[in-house]
Amino acid sequence: MEKQDVIIVTDPGVDDATALMYAIYCGQINIKLLAVAGGNGPISNAVNNALYLMELFKQDIPVAVGLDHPLKRPPKYALNAQGKGGLGGLKVNPKKLTTKPIEKPAKDAMYEILKNSNKKMTIIAIGPMTSVAEMLLEYPDAKKYIKEINFMGGTKEKIYGKPYREFNISFDPECVDIVIKSGIPLVMIPMELGHFAYLDKDDIKKFKKTNRIGKIFAKMYKKYNDFHVGHLGAAVHDVCSVYFLTNPQCLKMEKGHIELKYYKDGNEEYGYIDTSYDKEPNALIAVDMDISDFKYDLFEALKKAGDFVDKKDSE
């Protein structure tokens, strides 16, 4: 089977790291670029985490740096959920990194890769889509090179009657509005899918016992605070977006209409995605997933990751 070329937009936190591991070792995806955004932590942390993960996984995927802030508002990072450095209980020492990001900004690097590809390419956004919006603003023709944008973000859930403030959307809602209005085919993997697809305590123990890559992830999960799953384990929302690309038959999808709206909460206004089914559909929205298949495939990727890294280390 021919691998699918993709660009991944990421702000490497714990679930991003899990998604990248799966994307690299599932055997079905060829990552042409990591476009790094601030979000789970400052851009410097996110870049260092991306470089660390590529070195850990023995990959030479180029890492491009995006803006260090949203398009029109100051950044509000997710340090309470992802840990001070962004990777939960794991601390990355920048002085030990042997690689550097490429010089081209993320928006330019993405456009160049898309334009030079011999076929349309999918963008998987598991972090804020600031760089995608930047690219679309600067290079309007970029949309004709994009097959679809598959993003993890938003939710249909409401808390006490209010739209829920999902992080990837509320961090930079203005960029989300640009992406939704672009006319590019969209796949929305909402937050709640990660609450179905969480790793329970037994899964995390199994991760730790599988190989040394699994031990590193178990360390990350130890201080990963997903407020919905809580003490039950670790939600891996971002893997769900990648999983749709590799195993679409395992997800239940609905056609729906999505748009960016704002909600005033006291003195603060935040952005959220409103979903409806009585307007012209502009997105595929995931509503359920086969969790047993998902976990089986995730552990298979983890095994391959460990085997590959061990082989490289022994060469």
Which of 52, 26, 57 has its CA nearest to residue 299? 26
Q: What is the pLDDT of residue 203?
A: 94
52 has a pLDDT exceeding 80: yes
6 φ, ψ (degrees, to nearest 5)? -140, 160
pLDDT of residue 247: 97
Q: Dump pLDDT digits (tens) for 89-148.
A: 888 999 999 999 999 999 999 999 999 999 999 999 999 999 999 999 999 999 999 999
| pLDDT at 79 (0 to 100) | 73
Element holding 103 (H helix, E strand): none
Between these two residues, 146 and 13, which has the higher pLDDT value?
Answer: 146
Q: How far apart are CA 70 and CA 221, in angstroms?
A: 27
The predicted structure's pLDDT at residue 158: 76
For the chain, where are the E strands, in sequence order?
Answer: 4-10, 29-36, 63-65, 121-125, 146-152, 158-159, 162-163, 186-189, 198-200, 233-235, 251-265, 268-276, 283-289
Q: What is the pTM of this model?
A: 0.96
- Domain 4-314 maps to which CATH number in 3.40.50.1360, 3.40.50.12160, 3.40.50.720, 3.90.245.10? 3.90.245.10
Percentage of the residues of the chain whose pLDDT score is greater than 90? 80
Take residue 216 and report the two structure tokens written for it.
């590193």
- Whether 78 shows a pLDDT value over 80: the answer reads no
**211 against 2, higher pLDDT:** 211
- Asked whether the predicted pLDDT for residue 230 surpasses 70, the reply is no
